[in-house]
A and B are shown apart, each in its own frame.
Chain A
Amino acid sequence: NAGVTQTPKFQVLKTGQSMTLQCAQDMNHNSMYWYRQDPGMGLRLIYYSASEGTTDKGEVPNGYNVSRLNKREFSLRLESAAPSQTSVYFCASSEQGNNEKLFFGSGTQLSVL
């Protein structure tokens, strides 16, 4: 019973490099999310997806793109990484309209040098 699985757990990038963070859930949830953790600001929503094939901007979408590949998977892409994107990234999923609770992955610690 894996829940929400994120890869990689750690990543170091140079400014300008690109990478994709992967997220998969096995709970058959419709909604998926990407958050970043910033000191003193809790979790800030980057993008979310209410269902397969749909994505919407959150509070801080600039510099990111997402893909809801299917119901299970929701990836986050940094096209040209910047030091300001150094953060811990969390993926989450939920069944909105039913249980509502968000279930989180273990996080990806990203450093951009």
Chain B
Amino acid sequence: ILNVEQSPQSLHVQEGDSTNFTCSFPSSNFYALHWYRWETAKSPEALFVMTLNGDEKKKGRISATLNTKEGYSYLYIKGSQPEDSATYLCAFSMKTSYDKVIFGPGTSLSVIP
């Protein structure tokens, strides 16, 4: 059973604050780690997919890092804005079945103006 965990479950920050979330996953047999942004009443949209230990990805004010040896990834949001309010999902796949993409429970972010 693949167990993907995310913390915290929810987060409330003030506009302008920087924040970060954690995704933990099994460190053995790693293939890829995904981050998605999911706004209410919409479909999830991909932010990043990372495959190499030490990978860092950036998209505007959002960035992510990957540590496959210890099995965690961080997502950072710099200077949070109200439009960043969403649920952030991470997902994981293994080498032995890389098509099987398993999601974590998500971190719900609310940015207060």
Residues in A lying within 8 Å of B, measured CB to CB: 31, 33, 35, 40-45, 48, 50, 56, 58-59, 90, 94, 96-97, 99-107
Q: Cβ of B46 and Cβ of A103 under 8 Å apart?
A: yes
Known: A96-B98, A99-B49. A104 touches B103 (CB 8 A): no
Residues in B lying within 8 Å of A, measured CB to CB: 6, 9, 32, 34, 36, 43-46, 49, 51, 87, 89, 91, 93, 97-106
Besides A42-B89, A103-B46, A107-B43, 14 new A-B residue pairs in contact (Cβ under 8 A), listed by A number: A31-B99, A41-B105, A42-B106, A43-B44, A45-B100, A48-B99, A56-B100, A96-B93, A96-B98, A100-B34, A101-B46, A102-B101, A104-B45, A105-B43
Q: Cβ of A90 and Cβ of B99 under 8 Å apart?
A: no
7 contacts between A and B (CB under 8 A): A31-B99, A33-B101, A42-B89, A42-B103, A45-B103, A58-B102, A99-B49
The CA-CA distance from A31 to B91 in the complex, in Å, is: 15
Across-interface contacts of B46 in A (CB, < 8 A):
101-103
